[in-house]
Structures are given as C-alpha cells and as structure tokens.
Amino acid sequence: MRRFFLKLFRRSAMQQQIEAELAFHRDMAARHDNAIPLGNTAVIGEYGYDLWRFTFLENLWRDLVYGARGLRRSPVLVLTALLSLGLGIGVNAAMFSLGVEFLFSEPSVRDAGSLVSVQLGGNSNSPAQVADFLRSSGLFADVTGEDEEAVTNFNDGDVTRPVFSVYTAKNYFTMLGVPMLHGRGILIDDPNEVAVLSYAFWQKQFGSDPAAVGRTLNLNGRMCTVVGILPEHHRTLIGFGYSPDVFLPQYLETTTLALYARLKPGMSIPAARVGLAAVARRMDAEMPAHYKYADAVRVSPIAGFARLQSESEMLAVGVFFALLLAVTGLVLLIACVNVASLLLARASSRRREIATRLALGASRGRLLQQLLAESLLLSLLGAAMGVALAEATAVLLARVHLPMPIPIRLQIEPDWRLAIYAAVLTTFAALACGLLPAWQSMKQSLIQDLRRESRMRLRRTLVAAQIAVSVIVLTTGFLFLRNLLDSTAISPGFDVLHTVRANVNMPPVGYADPAKKDEYIHRVVDSLAALPGVESAAAARVVPFNGGERFMVGIVFADNREQRHAFFFWNGVTPGYFHTMGIPLLQGRTFSAADHGEKVVIVNRAFVAHYLGNRRPVGTVFLWGADGKTPYRIIGVAEGTKTLTIGEEPQPQLYEPLAQIVNDRQGIEFVMRSAIPPALQLETVRRTLHKIEPMAGAQVNTMYSSIGLAFLPSQVGALLMGSTGLLGLLLATIGLYGVMAYSVARRTREIGVRIAIGASRAAIARMVLRDSALVTIAGTAIGLAVALFVTKPLAMFLVPGLKPADPLNFAAVALAMLLTGLAATLGPVRRAVNIDPNATLRDE
C-alpha cells in the first residue's frame, strides 16, 4: 500500500532525480580519483524507473493503444467482431436484467429485509380482525395487510370501467414506509374516502399534473380524495412488475387481506414462525373460524434470495432464468468463436512481426499480454455496445404496453449487479476470443512448417464446434416454439371458442347485502340468456385461468367417519354453468333451482380419484363447513378443467351452487354460450349489462382472449428462447461465411490453376460446397447428439406430450442448420466460380 502511494505521487519526479543522483555519484568518484568502479548507468537507470512504475498497467495501456492502432487498419474485422460481441453480450445483459428484476427486485418499502408475509390456516388472505389480533399480540413490530388483487369501478364522469386496485389497512403506507412522489400515503386517521394513485394512472388521468393531489375520483360510486402519487419506479409487494392503478383504504368488512409483518430487531424467521403458531392457537380459541388458523402457519420473506427459497413457484421461474442465461451464454460463446476465427486469420499476417519480437527477446508472457490486449479492446467495445443495446431494449419494452389482462410494468434499470455481470462477460469474452489465436500465433512463429494448413484446420474445427453449439441453442428455441404451438392446441377442459365472458364488479353501494347480489346475478343471467344468438348463460365466482380459490380443509365421510385432508379449487356456479362452458358431466346431474335444504356439490374426476377411494361418487355424503358438521351430498361428477396453467393436469375441484353459498364478493363472472361467433356478441352483452346496472364496471371479452394469461408462460418462453436461438443461428452463419470466404480467398491461385487446366465451374462449385458441407454436417451431428442429452431437463417447462427428444424437432433443427450452411456458402461459391484464371496466373 505504501509502495503504491509512493509510486503514485512521486513517480513523475523520479526520472530527473535518478539521473541527477547518478551524475553526482560520478562527479564525486572522479574527484576522489575514481575510487569506486563505474557500472553501466543506463541499466541502473532502467532498473530505477522500473521500480517506480506500474509496469503491468503501463504495459497494458501501451498494448491497448497499439492494439487500437492495429485494429483501425482492419475495419471489417472490427465491425464484424463488434456486431458479434455486441449482440452476444447485449442479449446476455438483457436477460440478466430481466431475471434480476423478476427474481431479486425489492419492493419499494423501508427495510424490505425485515418484512415477512404471514399466512394462517393455509389461506393467502385473512379477515382484518386477524391483522388486529396479530398486532395486539405484540409478536411483531407491526402488522399490516392488503387485498392486492382487487378491482374498483372507476367512473370518469362518462363511462365506468374496472381498474386494478389494492385495498390496504390504514397503517399500510406508514408501516411499510412507501416513498411517495407527490403528497403522502394514507394515514391511520384518514377517512375511508381517500386514494393513492400509481404513476401511470396519474399520468393518464391527470396528465402528470401535481395539482391532482386534493382532487376527487369516483371509485366504486364514492368520491375519493387523492392524497398522494406513487413514484414512477414503484415496486409493489407482489413484485413481478404488477402495478395496480389505485390504493384505497379497505372499507368493506368482507374484504380479506394478505398480511405482512415487520419483524422485531433480532428476530429470526424460524422464531417468528414458532411465535406465530402460538398466537394462532390462541386465535383459534378466542375467535374460531370455519378453518383452524394454526393449521398451516407460514412466515416467509418477501424479497431477495430468501424469497426464492421459500416459494416453490418462484423456484421454477428461477430455473427458467438460469436456463435462459445458460443458453444466452452459449450464444455469446458462438459470438466469441466468430471473433476468434477472425483474429486467427489475422494472426497469419502478423507472423513476421511476432517472430521478430520473439527474436528481439520479448518474453512469451509479455507477448501473450500484448495479443490479449487486442481482444480485450474488442470485448470492451462489444460490452459497451451490448449494454447500450440491452438498455435501449429495456427502455423500449417499458414504453410498450404489454398486451396482458393485468397491468405489468417492469422497472428495469442498470445497477451494480449488471455492471459486475458485464465485467465478467467482458473478461470471459476477451479470453475466449483471444487466447486461442494468441497461443496459435506464438506457437506457429516458432514452428514455421505447420503454418497455414493447421491454422485452417483449426478454424474449421472452431466453426464445426460453433455449429454444434448453435444446434443446441436452436433446439432449445425450437422446443419452446413447439411448446407454444402445442399449448394453444391443448384443450383447457372447457369450450373457449364459442363462449363469451363478462367480468362484472358490482358497486358496493346498494349491493353489500348478499341477497341483493343474488337477485342481480339472477336478473343478469336471465337477460343474457334471452339475447338472440345466446344458447345459454350462467354465472360463477371465478372462471378458470383467472385466479382460483383453493381450499385446504378436513372433510369427514358420513359412511365410515373416515377423515381426509382435502385440497381443491372451489367455485360457486349457477346450474347452467356446465352446459354453457361445455364441461361434460360424467355422472349424476347438474344443480337445479330445486336444490334447497340439503347442501349439494359437484366434484371433478380428479377429486374422485384423490379422495373418494372406492365409494360410488354420486350420493356420497361428507361433513364439512364452518362447524365441520354440515353434510354435503355429491350429486354429480364433472370432467376436470385446467385452473392455473395450460400445461397442468386437472387438480381436484369442487363446485357448489351459487345460491347455496354466502355471496361475499363484489366481483362475479358471467359466461354465455353463443351460436354465432362470440366476438359479435360483445357489444350487445355490454349494453345489456349497462342497462341493468350502469354503476357496475364490466369487462366483456371472448373467452379465448380472456384466458390469454394462461398462455403467457409459454409465450414468454417461446419469445425469449426463440429469439435467442435465432440470434445464435445468425452468429453461426456469420462465422461459417467468414471461414468459407477466407478459405476461397486463400485458394484463389489454386482454383485459378484448376480452372486453367480444365476444371469445370460445376466441379469448382462442388469442391467448395463439399468443404462447407463437411463442416456443417459434422457440427450438426455433434450438436444434435449433445442436444439430445442437455435438453432433457427442459421437460419441466413443456406441455404434457411434448418431449425434449422430439424427433420432429431435431429434424427441423438439422434442416435449418443445413440450409443456413448452404446459404452461408453461396457467396464464397460464386466468388470461387468467377475466379479469372488469367488474372491469377498473371499475378504469379
């Protein structure tokens, strides 16, 4: 350290000092009759300078300057290299940023590390009283809650439309410490009629006017005062870029909240879990519900790596991104091989220079350093271009409104993680591009005989390897494209082509009473069914792929008192639901208006298989309900439907008649079966709904477009992997073209002689083509063999029925590769065929 600073601050004066000191010594020696013999002062001086220099860094700088000068003379090489490396590093940086945002982004709150998500009784949401109970228990520093997936009817004075919103406990903003752009968060003493707006909603509705704070909005028929605006880069607790439009205080008794707690300083998560279990048991004793709070207690971190470990669904996303990074890493490798191949060609022209340097006594390490500086320069420029490219893409993506049913805005910004990743990539690229050519050119300067033939062979091997790698990348891309095609062809278990879906949000004013809701629902179902062209209509709490209510409860069979823990998706539907949705009933009957008194349910095939054992399903009675003693009779068995993702196997499902349950939700789904194309019904349905209740917000879509979310994972997968695969293919094409073009240029004389002594043009073309085909086929064969193994783990992302080792997929990849190889060779072939023998011989 001391040395470092001495060197840093005193080096500039050193040169003169050293010379003066040595001169003084010589004078003194002369005066004393040369008592001390003189050495070689030049050498001593050199030694002195070296002591005072940062030799390595200064050499590096000189090498970089030298490299830059050399590269300026070969603009084509630089352009190709920068394009390859820029694209390669760019795609890596982009996917990395995306992955980091998805997996590791922290919500915009104070000290996210001490926040945990709390779940009781296996439920994602709990009533507000539970939050109060937890807070007063003193286990946590504070507790708050939000209903994160709520919808509010927003009336802009003209039309009513549903907006995504979050209902919060009133201490939400203060407890979390959410930073605000304008105004303030909701405070505990605020009335219920206040709202905080998202940046995007503020921009759209108020044109980014700061004076919006204090204005009022008609939300759910109540005039709410805007108290604050969130910053543009606000990240919600859910993450994944979910950005709802408005935040409101929870004002309905029935709203249930996802709970968040702040740990007391020093409290670990396991300790919190133990404490929470004790509190939950007390809760079960003091305020019993229809489930046991203490049954499945969860305390999980909300951010960072810890969240990844605690949530299995996050793990799949993590694996996907790891895979994506591996594939983009391979693309970068292809790009590096391109550059290596170019540098290798260049090395032959530098043979003499390197031989001279070696002869003059340059150490091999020093020479290697010089040669690597060149590739470092290229990778630095490539990285700069790549990161710029990635950022431009991210900015562009952020502007584009994603065609999704829920508002997603990813906040991708360059940060230190990206900087580190880019630095690692650059170093890797510099070594991958430079090491082989540098080593080769040094070796060959010593062994002159091997020269060109072996270098050409090396380049061919490199290209074959490159093709092999692109086959792997392409196979992955093709697999995800196939997955997309196959998943759209999969039946979700209900009719999506002839159905219309209307998601209606009843205004809480006037519809708080469940009886009022039921009455409204009946009226709508009847009116919709009466529309011309509508075969039947029904209502349901949820439709598949738009969320599901999952229950984990204990049920007891009435026949032998057997107790089972059942885990199923629960839905409440009107009798016409199964017919309207085209869900086949396998046994028994559907609900009827006459189902009074006795509670009845319809279950699906998976429920029967999982829980009923050998019982005859229809007629089986089990005990369940808030008290655990109400008998429920199974009256029918339906075919299963997919609920969350298109690729899944149907999970156990249980339907109750809508009339049999307490309708505590403002939202309701209507489905219609249409005899005419469903798109033509949308306007009529909207008008009908508006006529019945103008204050209700409604979203009316064909079923096909409204389940779009279900295809999102396969679409995103296909988009990312497919474009990466294409990029890999493009880069490999450039590589093959470069090698073939170089090979033809090198053999110009030979080909000229062949033509002069009578070889036909066809024979020449065949010769070049054979050359390229050899490389392409060898590379493809190796690539396919490797891909067969490495794509195996992809099965977890693919729809059932599609296997990674799909022969059709491999055939398509091989064909694409061979065609690309042919295309890359056409230019060089044309040049070879057009070689003028006279000109070449004259050069001789």
Q: Is 17 in the site for another protein (CB under 8 A)?
A: yes
Residue 2 or residue 399: which is nearer to another protein going by CB? 2
Measured from the CB of residue 33, what is the shortest distance to another protein in angstroms?
A: 12
Residue 37 or residue 403: which is nearer to another protein going by CB? 37
From the list 11, 25, 161, 633, which residue makes contact with another protein (rule: CB under 8 A)?
A: 25
- Tell the burial category of 416 from Cβ atoms under 10 Å away from its Cβ (0-12, 13-18, 19+): exposed
Whether the Cβ atoms of residue 200 and residue 218 lie closer than 8 Å to each other: no
Helix (H) or strand (E) holding 786: helix 761-790
Residue 29 or residue 238: which is nearer to another protein going by CB? 29
Measured from the CB of residue 24, what is the shortest distance to another protein in angstroms?
A: 5
Instruction: Kindly indicate which of the ranges 32-40, 513-521, 622-630, 646-654 contains the residues binding another protein, using the contact rule CB under 8 A.
Output: 32-40
Instruction: Kindly indicate which of the ranges 28-36, 91-99, 570-578, 765-773 contains the residues binding another protein, using the contact rule CB under 8 A.
Output: 28-36
From the list 8, 28, 530, 675, which residue makes contact with another protein (rule: CB under 8 A)?
A: 28
Measured from the CB of residue 51, what is the shortest distance to another protein in angstroms?
A: 5
Residue 39 or residue 266: which is nearer to another protein going by CB? 39
Residue 41 or residue 546: which is nearer to another protein going by CB? 41
Between CA 57 and CA 471 the distance in angstroms is 41
Structure tokens at 467: 């093709």
Measured from the CB of residue 22, what is the shortest distance to another protein in angstroms?
A: 7
Q: Which of residues 619-658 bind another protein (CB under 8 A)?
A: none
Whether the Cβ atoms of residue 500 and residue 703 lie closer than 8 Å to each other: yes
Look at residues 335, 346, 341 and name the one whose alpha carbon lies nearest to residue 74.
346
Residue 24 or residue 61: which is nearer to another protein going by CB? 24
Dihedral of CA atoms 626, 630, 631, 632 in degrees, nearest 10, equals -40
Instruction: Kindly indicate which of the ranges 16-24, 330-338, 397-405, 692-700 contains the residues binding another protein, using the contact rule CB under 8 A.
Output: 16-24
Q: Is 6 in the site for another protein (CB under 8 A)?
A: yes
Look at residues 759, 754, 763, 741 and name the one whose alpha carbon lies nearest to residue 827.
741
Size of the site for another protein (CB under 8 A): 30
From the list 27, 111, 526, 750, which residue makes contact with another protein (rule: CB under 8 A)?
A: 27
Q: Is 8 in the site for another protein (CB under 8 A)?
A: no
Instruction: Kindly indicate which of the ranges 26-34, 74-82, 135-143, 798-806 contains the residues binding another protein, using the contact rule CB under 8 A.
Output: 26-34
Between CA 99 and CA 93 the distance in angstroms is 10
- Residue 676: HSE in the Cβ half-sphere, 13 Å Cα cutoff: 9
Residue 111 has phi, psi (to 5 degrees) of 50, 65
Measured from the CB of residue 47, what is the shortest distance to another protein in angstroms?
A: 5
Residue 40 or residue 448: which is nearer to another protein going by CB? 40
Between CA 726 and CA 38 the distance in angstroms is 70
What binding mask, one character per residue, do residues 698-737 give for another protein by CB under 8 A, x or -?
----------------------------------------
Between CA 237 and CA 307 the distance in angstroms is 12
Whether the Cβ atoms of residue 564 and residue 554 lie closer than 8 Å to each other: yes
Between CA 339 and CA 68 the distance in angstroms is 16
Measured from the CB of residue 14, what is the shortest distance to another protein in angstroms?
A: 9
Look at residues 318, 323, 297, 321 and name the one whose alpha carbon lies nearest to residue 308.
318
Phi-psi region of 561 (alpha: psi -120 to 50; beta: other; left: phi over 0): left
Look at residues 677, 544, 737 and name the one whose alpha carbon lies nearest to residue 83.
737
From the list 3, 72, 629, 691, which residue makes contact with another protein (rule: CB under 8 A)?
A: 3
Q: Which of residues 40-59 bind another protein (CB under 8 A)?
A: 40-41, 43-44, 47-48, 51-52
Q: Is 61 in the site for another protein (CB under 8 A)?
A: no
Reported residue count of the chain is 844
Residue 248 has phi, psi (to 5 degrees) of -130, 150
* Chain centre distance of CA 526: 44
Q: Is 21 in the site for another protein (CB under 8 A)?
A: yes
Residue 20 or residue 65: which is nearer to another protein going by CB? 20
From the list 15, 19, 24, 770, which residue makes contact with another protein (rule: CB under 8 A)?
A: 24
Residue 728 corresponds to which amino acid?
Answer: G
Instruction: Kindly indicate which of the ranges 1-9, 343-351, 361-369, 517-525 contains the residues binding another protein, using the contact rule CB under 8 A.
Output: 1-9
As beta bridge partners, residue 117 has 260, 300
Measured from the CB of residue 59, what is the shortest distance to another protein in angstroms?
A: 19
- Tell the burial category of 40 from Cβ atoms under 10 Å away from its Cβ (0-12, 13-18, 19+): exposed
Q: Is 38 in the site for another protein (CB under 8 A)?
A: yes
Whether the Cβ atoms of residue 709 and residue 405 lie closer than 8 Å to each other: yes
From the list 2, 72, 399, 561, which residue makes contact with another protein (rule: CB under 8 A)?
A: 2
Residue 29 or residue 659: which is nearer to another protein going by CB? 29
Q: Is 36 in the site for another protein (CB under 8 A)?
A: yes
Using DSSP's 3-state secondary structure scheme, residue 603 falls into: strand
Whether the Cβ atoms of residue 92 and residue 325 lie closer than 8 Å to each other: yes
Residue 4 or residue 416: which is nearer to another protein going by CB? 4
Residue 21 or residue 526: which is nearer to another protein going by CB? 21
Measured from the CB of residue 56, what is the shortest distance to another protein in angstroms?
A: 16
Using DSSP's 3-state secondary structure scheme, residue 661 falls into: coil
Whether the Cβ atoms of residue 506 and residue 747 lie closer than 8 Å to each other: no
Instruction: Kindly indicate which of the ranges 20-28, 94-102, 589-597, 755-763 contains the residues binding another protein, using the contact rule CB under 8 A.
Output: 20-28
Whether the Cβ atoms of residue 703 and residue 556 lie closer than 8 Å to each other: no
Whether the Cβ atoms of residue 494 and residue 544 lie closer than 8 Å to each other: yes
Residue 50 or residue 158: which is nearer to another protein going by CB? 50
Residue 3 or residue 842: which is nearer to another protein going by CB? 3
C-alpha pair distances (Å), 287 with each of 129, 250, 281, 290: 9, 21, 10, 10
Structure tokens at 703: 């079923």
From the list 12, 16, 39, 265, which residue makes contact with another protein (rule: CB under 8 A)?
A: 39
Q: Is 22 in the site for another protein (CB under 8 A)?
A: yes
Q: Residue numbers of the site for another protein (CB under 8 A)? A: 2-3, 6-7, 17-18, 20-22, 24-29, 31-32, 35-41, 43-44, 47-48, 51-52
